Amino acid sequence: MTLFLLRRLLQTVNVLFIMSLLVFVGIYAVGNPLDMLVDPQATRADVARVAAALGLDQPVWVQYGRFLANALRGDLGNSFLHGTPALQLILQRLPATLELAVSALLIAVLLGIPLGLWAGLRPDSASGKTIMAGSILGFSLPTFWVGLMLIMVFSVYLGWLPSGGRGPTREVLGMHWSLLGAEGWRHVLLPALNLALFKLALVIRLTQSGTREALLQDYVRFARAKGLAPRRIVGVHVLKNIMIPVITVVGLEFGTLIAFSVVTESIFAWPGIGKLLLDSITLLDRPVVVAYLLLIVLIYTLISLVVDVLYAALDPRVRLAGGQAA
Amino acid sequence: MPQHTSSPRRSPRLPRLLLGALLAGALLPAWAADLRIGLSSDVTSLDPHFVNIAPNIAFSDHIFDTLVKSDAKGKLVPGLAESWRALSPTTWEFKLRQGVVFSDGTPLTAEDVVFSLDRPATIQNSPGPFTSYTNQIVKKEAIDAHTVHLHTASAYGPLPLDLISIYVVSKKAAENATTEDFNTGKALIGTGPFKFAAFRKGESIEVTRNERHWGKRPEWDKVSFRILASGAPRLSALLAGDVDVIENVPAADLARLKTNSQVTLAQHTTWRTLFWQLDQFRDQSPFVTDHAGKPLDKNPLKDLRVRQAISKAINRQALVDRSLEGLAVPASNINAPGIFGYNDAIKVDAYDPEGARKLLAEAGYPDGFSLTIHGTNNRYINDEQVVQTVAQFLNRVGIRTKVDTQPVATYFGKARAHEYSFALLGWGSLAADFTLRSIAGTPNPDTGWGTWNWGKYSNPKVDELVAGALAAVEPAERERLAREAAGVALTDLAVIPSHHQLATWALRKGFAYDGRIDEFTFAHEIRSVR
């Protein structure tokens, strides 16, 4: 186990290093932020002063070297546009994205597993067929369109829910959270539903096919033959066995929920990190883009680590050995 | 998307009727005193001297004042300075308004003004400093509490214009303040119509009325700004009643909004003028070839007749009506009408494809040539369509034109490196001599001339007139020279003017705004109407 964790840690550091290099060189190639930001009437002296202050007068490898040296000390640089540390800027917005992603995940899991189970147990019933047909819609409708429709119906026509934004926040542990009050839940409902739709469809289909497969397995037949109550067969034997693929997928999808909530965030004016990333890319705010992507890589690796550990807990056959870790 | 014309909002109706009947008198004033605005770009910092970008400046104007202000039409009007005049070509005297106090109660003095003019040069790590507006001042003197003398190294006429960009902060509050102190509101002490209440970065800003403000009292007790960067959510926030006013209405939705009785639109011609910059310095331009794709032996864009032919080939009225959906007016100048130095003797070039072909033949290109034109696809109103439309017009007169559009982040860098032959640029400025210096002045990075002259146009006569205008401290003389310079540059087609953009605001019923030439959304200029 320790060896497994160590190995994982080393891999993470490697990935972070490669990622930082790719992103840094990539965004360097896109354009020079000075062209976007320095006053057009500025003289050469002015431009040179700004370039020197921001370190943009150096060749790219010197800039990267400086970045790396600072990063090792935990300093990912200051946002050009905001004038505050890039990491702090992202961490300030992270709670908003986390709240959105967790809410979406809860919707996907709490609705998806029961619905998928139902459809798996009664594949030929009208309700089962309806669920499966509905899940196809969840896959195929584009997020931005569904988001706009949700706003049109629930905010513009009915006026039940706010059209966007996050509602009032409360400070806990130095971060601002909105889901501590009813107003926050009103605000998160539409964007979370929008973000959850695709994952919901995914969970339904995974659970449904897993259930159908499990029902044909020998252990289910034996359990039936033994006279176990159907409730126990489904609740313990079937459910536990179909959870492994579901957990894998949900775990990885949680990463994408955080990293790619951009569309939902911009439709619902949700002040999360996705929106920050978009703004930063358009204005070439290099430090923020680099810091953001590094953070996402870190989150991804952590999530897959958690998934691996959960695996071992669910399936005793899986061992977190040093050599052949999953 | 479904139609959303005059849908009944906010059920249920019965309680609403009751409320309306019983409490209208009591509720209306409270409702009317709050204003919620949806902004289209993020305010990155509340420090008014940190970075020179439009959203930050627009916000600063609510909290702070400048010595000289520009009104909605772009004319200079007194701000904190009651009057100003040039004592000599290099010395300006600004007389401060009497009895102005900051929102914390301390009176405004010449010390605060001098401090505010010094401050932009002390800001560290700003990617877009305000120093280009203060560089000209070599010495600042507080003569008495209400008189400031500013000295420039050489005669410099646009000094009052420069000062509309420098906000006056309280020396007491800002002296040792960091950017963070501004964002928390601690150092955000100004003389403007509002004072700071709350800031949630990337999300919202709230301000309340500054009862100590010297000028016209704004109608609103409280104003909240929400950052709604994408067009569709901004519009839906307005339709859902979550905000009262939005700026930068998405062009595609305008036609439908016009039929919505719950919404009124406000439009204003803006300073943003779009024009084409042509390579006028290379003998062989990279994107100009013969029809077989081989380089030409000389650069046709250097020939005035070719430039005239191109200008005549563009049907600006059709461009504006179709590709821009009426959100622009055809341009003859590189500044909007009414702006200092606008030359109204120059008329919009009439659409004349026959004349264009004749001119091309005269210049030795009876069969035209091949050209790739460049533009942005995320910067100006319908910019990609504009580039495509102009390519079609050029095709009609025999110039086989290809189109390449890019996001502005990559486009500007390449354009500034003079990589293109024929490229679109939009420019907003409140004085023609300023625009000409940057766009048509012979490039000289040391002096800041021709910094955005992508085609490296160079004409000694224009340079001389612009230099004369910039050195004229007498406004009438300066305007005469600026107008003449514009006339010379435009007759020579230093650039080919295309159109002036309009800006559009959408307001819920009960609110009114006249719009501004500088595209800013000012809460203190929004009114309630019955």
Among the residue ranges A43-47, A79-83, B362-366, B448-452, the one predicted with the least confidence is A43-47
The mean pLDDT values, 10 residues at a time, for chain B of 530 residues are 36 40 40 85 92 93 96 94 95 96 95 95 86 92 95 94 96 89 92 94 92 94 92 89 93 88 94 96 94 92 96 97 94 94 95 96 95 94 95 96 91 91 95 94 87 94 96 94 96 97 95 95 93
* Cα separation, B478 vs B171, whole angstroms: 34
The pLDDT value recorded for residue B166 is 96
* Class of the domain covering B34-262+509-528: alpha beta
* Cα separation, A129 vs B440, whole angstroms: 69
Decide if B241 and A281 are in contact by the 8 Å CB cutoff: no
Q: Which residue in A30, A34, A38, A277 has the most chain B C-beta atoms within 10 A of its own C-beta, making it the best mutation to test that interface? A: A38
The pLDDT value recorded for residue A282 is 79
Decide if B240 and A159 are in contact by the 8 Å CB cutoff: yes
Assign residue A323 a region (left: φ > 0; alpha: ψ between -120 and 50; beta: otherwise): alpha
Three-state secondary structure call for residue A140: helix
Q: What is the pLDDT confidence band of residue A277, given thresholds at 50, 70 and 90? A: confident
* Cα separation, B135 vs B137, whole angstroms: 5
> Domains in chain A, start-ordered, CATH in brackets?
2-71 (no CATH), 86-325 (1.10.3720.10)
Shortest distance, CA A43 to any CA of chain B (angstroms): 4
The pLDDT value recorded for residue A321 is 56
Nearest to A162 among B135, B203, B242 (CB): B242
The answer to whether residues B69 and B94 touch, using CB atoms and an 8 Å cutoff, is no
* Class of the domain covering B270-502: alpha beta
Residue range A237-263: average pLDDT? 82
Decide if A162 and B2 are in contact by the 8 Å CB cutoff: no
* Cα separation, B502 vs B71, whole angstroms: 17
Shortest distance, CA B382 to any CA of chain A (angstroms): 17
* Cα separation, B107 vs B171, whole angstroms: 11
Beta bridge partners of residue B376, listed in sequence order: B406
Q: Which residue in B9, B126, B433 has the most chain A C-beta atoms within 10 A of its own C-beta, making it the best mutation to test that interface? A: B126
The CB-based long-range contact list for B351-355 (8 Å cut-off, 24+ gap) reads: B351/B312, B351/B313, B351/B314, B351/B315, B351/B316, B351/B317, B351/B318, B352/B312, B352/B313, B353/B312, B353/B313, B353/B396, B353/B397, B355/B309, B355/B312
Nearest to A37 among B127, B407, B416 (CB): B127
* Cα separation, A82 vs B178, whole angstroms: 12
Q: What is the pLDDT confidence band of residue A325, given thresholds at 50, 70 and 90? A: very low
What 8-state DSSP symbol labels residue A87?
H
Which chain A residues touch B430 with a CB distance below 8 Å? none
> What are the two backbone dihedrals, phi and then psi, of residue B288, each rounded to the nearest 5 degrees?
-115, 125
- In chain A, the largest separation of any two C-alpha atoms, in whole Å, equals 88
The angle at the Cα of B129, spanning B128 to B133, to the nearest 5 degrees, equals 120
- Count contacts between A and B (CB, < 8 Å): 179
The answer to whether residues B429 and B478 touch, using CB atoms and an 8 Å cutoff, is no
Nearest to A42 among B4, B427, B448 (CB): B448
For residue A97, give Cα distances in angstroms to A111, B103, B258.
Answer: 21, 36, 36
The pLDDT value recorded for residue B168 is 97
Nearest to B50 among A83, A148, A156 (CB): A83
Please report the sign of the dihedral spanned by the C-alpha atoms of residue B88, residue B89, residue B90, residue B94.
positive
Distance between terminal CA atoms of chain A? Answer: 13
pLDDT by residue (tens digit) across A165-197?
Answer: 887 777 777 777 877 777 888 889 899 999 999
pLDDT at A326 over 50: no
* Cα separation, A270 vs A189, whole angstroms: 12
The answer to whether residues B285 and B301 touch, using CB atoms and an 8 Å cutoff, is yes
Residue range A133-137: average pLDDT? 87
Q: Which two tokens stand for residue B252?
A: 């595609």
Residue range A68-96: average pLDDT? 87
Looking at per-residue pLDDT, the higher value among B486 and A67 belongs to B486
Q: What is the pLDDT confidence band of residue A63, given thresholds at 50, 70 and 90? A: confident
The pLDDT value recorded for residue A319 is 66
Which chain A residues touch B252 with a CB distance below 8 Å? none
The pLDDT value recorded for residue B21 is 39
The answer to whether residues B49 and B118 touch, using CB atoms and an 8 Å cutoff, is no
Please report the sign of the dihedral spanned by the C-alpha atoms of residue B363, residue B364, residue B367, residue B370.
negative
Alpha helices in B155-218 (DSSP H): 159-162, 171-174, 179-183
Decide if A31 and B409 are in contact by the 8 Å CB cutoff: yes
Shortest distance, CA B356 to any CA of chain A (angstroms): 33
The position carrying tokens 């003017």 is B497
Q: Which two tokens stand for residue B245?
A: 């006013």
Looking at per-residue pLDDT, the higher value among A132 and B287 belongs to B287
Q: Which residue in B16, B41, B132 has the most chain A C-beta atoms within 10 A of its own C-beta, making it the best mutation to test that interface? A: B132
Nearest to A152 among B2, B45, B437 (CB): B2
Burial label, B355 (beta-carbon count in 10 A; 0-12, 13-18, 19+): middle
Domain boundaries of chain B, sorted by first residue: 34-262+509-528, 270-502
* Cα separation, B469 vs B448, whole angstroms: 16
Of the candidates A295, A302, A288, A279, the residue with the CA atom closest to the CA atom of residue A24: A288
Residue range A21-36: average pLDDT? 82
What interface predicted TM-score (ipTM) does this complex get? 0.78
Structural element, H or E, at residue B185: none
The pLDDT value recorded for residue A281 is 84
* Cα separation, B501 vs B330, whole angstroms: 9
pLDDT by residue (tens digit) across A199-240?
Answer: 899 999 999 988 888 888 888 888 888 888 878 888 777 888
For residue B204, give Cα distances in angstroms to A74, B38, B50, B207.
Answer: 29, 9, 19, 10
